[in-house]
Structure formats: C-alpha cells, structure tokens
Amino acid sequence: MSEGGGLFEAIRGRRSVRKFRPDPVARETLGRLIEMAAWAPSAGNRQDWFFTVVDSADVRRRMDEAVRRRWDALVEGTGGKGTLGEAAKYVARYSDLSGAPVLILVSARRVDPLQRKLLGEAAEVAGGGILSASMAAQNLMLAAHALGLGSCCMTGPLAAGEELGRIAGLRPRQRIVCLIALGWPAEAPPAPPRRPVADISRFLP
C-alpha cells in the first residue's frame, strides 16, 4: 500500500486547473462531489454549508460581468496602478467565471446578531462557518481530482460577493466563502514549489 493509503498521493497530485474542455459534467457526478464535500468536519457538527451549482452558461456570464464591473469600479480612480490595479489584473487573468462548464458557489451561514454583538470581529472566526465551508470545499476538490475532473478555488470574485449571491438566489443568511470552477481539464499544470516544513512551522518547547 502506498504512503497514506493513496491519500497523500491525491493531495500532492491535485492541481488548480484554469483551462477546461467544453464537455458537460453529469449532474449525478456533481451530486457525488457534494456528498463527499458534506463528509468534511464542521463546527459543532452543524453542517451549515450550502453548495449552489451553476451549469448555465448564461448565469455564469452574468456572474462574470458582475465581477468585472465591480473590479472596474474599484480601480477607476487608480489609473490601473498600485495595489488595486495589480489586483484587477490578477482577477482579469484568473477569475473568468464563464470559462468552466460548472461553477460551484460554496457558502456558509452567517453568524447571528447575538454572536456578532458578543464577539465583534472575532465572531466569524469563532462561529466556524467559514472554516467548515472551506474544509468542505477542499473535500470537493479532492473528490473531483479522484474522478479525473479539474477544479480551481477562487476568492477574487468575492469582491462582488453580494451581487453574485443575488444572481444565484442565495438566502440573506448565506455568505459565499469561495467559488470552485469545475470541469474536465484541458491542461495539466506542473506542481508549484512548496515552502519547506521548517519555514512554515515551529514546535513549541
């Protein structure tokens, strides 16, 4: 048996894919991915995540336009320079929401007013909803990789998160945590370098 029963190999083998074939992904397959996502751990075992699957080209186009309008508005006064200008270039390159046959919006339940009043800025982190949805997203992408699908997790489009939520018909209590572009890959990206363990961790005495 390979190291980690094959899990380690799957984790190392998954890539962020940004180019997809136009072939559709069967809804039965998408349902299996969401089932695997739902096996992630969650805060208090509340499982208060939600997955909105967008396989309509028209809806993806509308979302893409909303994101680009938002970033255009943010950088309008910068002349395309500075931090916002660089961010806009990044989004233009990596946030094409209409380029994949499927887009999955991963959302989490917002913290309630009492939690926010008691904990202030710490409420979102302590509530655990964002972390839970993030772990579910990782499960989904690993499951997609196991089935030969490619995926890419995106957060840049969340600059227009409220508008994306309206287009997707999300309930007000749902907050988008990330978007996952999904489809049959048209590229095999090389593995990016990873920082060594010694640089990203320390062991307390």
Over residues 60-67, mean pLDDT: 93
SS3 144: helix
- Partner residues linked to 103 by β-bridges: 54, 181
Question: pLDDT, tens digit, for every residue of 177-196?
Answer: 999 999 999 999 999 999 99
Kindly state whether residue 36 falls inside one of the protein's structural domains.
Answer: yes
Kindly state whether residue 197 falls inside one of the protein's structural domains.
Answer: no
Question: pLDDT, tens digit, for every residue of 89-132?
Answer: 666 655 578 889 999 999 999 887 778 877 788 777 777 789 99
Beta carbons of 129 and 161 less than 8 angstroms apart = no
First to last CA, the chain: 35
Q: How many CB atoms lie within 10 A of CB 22?
A: 11
Cβ burial of 63 (10 Å; 0-12, 13-18, 19+) is: buried
Range of the domain at 117: 11-57+99-187
Q: Is 60 a residue whose pLDDT tops 80? A: yes
Provide the pLDDT for residue 116: 80
CATH of the domain at 19: 3.40.109.10
Q: Domain count of the chain?
A: 1
Handedness of CA 159, 161, 162, 167 (dihedral sign): positive
Note the pTM of the prediction, 2 decimals.
0.89
Kindly state whether residue 87 falls inside one of the protein's structural domains.
Answer: no
Provide the pLDDT for residue 89: 65
User: Any idea of the CA torsion for 156, 27, 47, 139, to the nearest 10 degrees?
Assistant: -60
Question: pLDDT, tens digit, for every residue of 15-44?
Answer: 999 999 999 999 999 999 999 999 999 999
Beta carbons of 88 and 74 less than 8 angstroms apart = yes
Kindly state whether residue 194 falls inside one of the protein's structural domains.
Answer: no
